[in-house]
Copies of this chain bind each other. A is one copy, B any other.
Amino acid sequence: MANPYNTGLDRNPANYQPLTPLGFLARTAANYPNATAIIHGELKISYQAFYNRSRQLASQLAKQGLGRGDTVSALLANTPAMLECHYGVPMAGAVLHSINTRLEAATIAYQLDHAEAKVMIVDQEFLSVALDALQIATVSPTLIVYRDPEWATSSEEGAATQYPDYEAFVAQGDPSFSWLMPDDEWDAISINYTSGTTGNPKGVVCHHRGAYLLALGNVFTADMPKYSVYLWTLPMFHCNGWCFPWTMSAICGTHVCLRQVREVPIWQALHEHKVTHLCGAPIVMDIILSGTHRVLPDKVAFFTAAAPPPERTLANMQQAGFEVTHLYGLAEVYGPAVVNEWHREWDDLPGDQQARLKARQGVRYLPLENLDVFAPATMMPVPADGKTLGEVMFRGNVVMKGYFKNPDATALAFEGGWFHSGDLAVKHPDGYIQLKDRSKDIIISGGENISSIEIEDVLYKHTAVAVAAVVACPDEKWGEVPYAFVECADGQNVSEDELKAWCSQHMAGFKVPKHVAFTAIPRTPTGKIQKFQLRNKVKP
């Protein structure tokens, strides 16, 4: 028999509208027009102005002929212009392509071509590299230059004046422009390129539905009340700033922009603007804790990802008044989609136990429907024993549409109806997952899997080690053996034998690196260690 609840009860415009985070801004601008949306140096932008400027930008893009499915590239620091792009670009129906400002010209050119950029908005600081990229690229996007008052006038000024000015461009726009809702919530809102530690970068396409849901998910993860104040220590070009450009509009929050992540301006902002939340890689915590020690009057929430926060850093952060939460994610899941949900009773544990619990990546975000660790061969979950390695897989509404113009990579990533992260992890008895390695970074020695991260963790605990990276080295007898590369801390010294002895004390013998080399470790422009270069070094 037919389900009677499906008869004559169809979707119509009254009861079905595409989910999009753009509506958050419209709503808050209507309800709190005078609330401060953005602080940037001396500049304060109200929600009414933020909404109007976003619509002006959208109307100008539309005037340029841009519409649904066209790409607007942004090479911008954490500035009001970058926030406006997160609304103005999709309000024109277009797709926002944020570019990592640390990239070199060739990679930028590759992205511009692949994304078929129609317009490129560039901060004056990065104009020179942008022009170099445009020399290489096939596409010729319209170039618009953002001259940030917080950026000192420099030698670029002469070159910049020949390109349209962002402020002038926006000023010509229509502040009451009827912006475009997506045709469908599945429409693309952004494209972000992977950093390409392995070959060509892939264009991760995100949609309005996922951006809406992850933006709201952040509020749950971060327990963010209305009027929260968010400091931009995380680059907005990273996975759309983990969707926080949209989150803040949902709660009438304030963005505090920051061009450069340095100790003094961070502490200044924390005190002056009563910041409540900020995000960043562990390096940001080191920056915060460097220099004169300061203490916060009120608790501030810090969200970190990329690597487990070390115990000492955690303790120092706590002492300074920060509450640190560990997140995990990838561009393919809109930024963070896994959170180390903290149990109140864990507060009473000793510091080292807290650090061990906090090192785990955790559990699924509220808007992620499923997260598990699978044996890739069988697609069966690994036992929750904290030991068996498997691949982290995601399923849910905050997983990307797919890779742009790359059906093979897309099909591979979604094989079996789950997104394959390429990260290896164990599942603890309480269901929390913990990363052990990238699948390609695992070392198989005498049939045993060795996690390179596990060895690196031990090396990092040695006071003389500043940076450590371990890769598989081909070996006649064992197949592969661990090979460690180490950068020593300033003024510190340690020998190969000392480090091997150190490792022997802390791990099974077969895991101890057979070789230790002291050398500068190669990184991508985004700061990720390029293990493939190290692998090339150890090839026979």
Contact = CB atoms under 8 A, between A and B. Distances in A.
B23 A402 contact: no
B5 A431 contact: no
Nearest to A32: B343
Contacts of A405: 4, 7-8
Contacts of A407: 8
A210 B399 CA distance: 21
A15 B366 contact: no
Interface string A486-499: 00000000000000
A339 B50 CA distance: 23
Interface in A223-237: 223, 225-227
A219 interface: yes
B223 A370 contact: no
A328 interface: no
A3 interface: yes
Interface in A399-445: 399-402, 404-405, 407, 410, 413-414, 417-419, 431
A224 to B, nearest CB: 9
A215 to B, nearest CB: 11
Contacts of A414: 12, 14-15
Given A223-B225, A402-B8, A407-B8, A419 B32 contact: no
Nearest to A251: B220
A223 B10 CA distance: 33
A158 interface: no
Interface stretch (A54-62, A390-398, A447-455): A390-398
A389 interface: no
Contact of A69 (B6, B216, B431): B6
Interface string A243-278: 000000011000000000000000000000000000
A14 B392 CA distance: 13
A153 interface: no
Nearest to A181: B369
B5 A363 contact: no
Interface string A1-43: 0111111111111111101000110010011100000000000
A344 interface: yes
A186 interface: yes
A187 interface: yes
Nearest to A345: B34
A399 B15 contact: yes
A44 interface: no
Given A30-B363, A227-B344, A397 B17 contact: yes
B9 A397 contact: no
Grouping DSSP codes into helix (H, G, I), strand (E, B) and loop, the A interface class, with mixed when no group exceeds half, is loop
How many copies of this chain are found per oligomer? Answer: 2
A417 B95 contact: no
A126 to B, nearest CB: 25
B14 A341 contact: no
A344 B225 CA distance: 13
Nearest to A184: B6
Given A3-B69, A31-B341, A410 B9 contact: yes
A366 B95 contact: no
B401 A9 contact: yes
Central interface residue in A16, A210, A396, by most chain B CB within 10 Å:
A16
Contacts of A19: 397
Contacts of A404: 4-5, 9
A68 interface: yes
A364 interface: yes
Nearest to A342: B226
A395 B226 contact: no
A116 interface: yes
A419 to B, nearest CB: 5
A205 interface: yes
A11 B7 CA distance: 25
A188 interface: yes
Contacts of A210: 15
Which 3 A-B pairs give the minimum distances between C-beta atoms? A3-B69, A13-B417, A5-B188
15 contacts: A3-B69, A4-B116, A9-B404, A13-B417, A14-B394, A14-B395, A14-B413, A15-B400, A15-B401, A15-B414, A16-B397, A17-B370, A30-B431, A216-B216, A223-B226
Given A9-B401, A30-B363, A227-B344, 10 more contacts: A4-B116, A13-B417, A13-B418, A15-B402, A16-B397, A17-B370, A27-B363, A216-B216, A219-B220, A225-B225
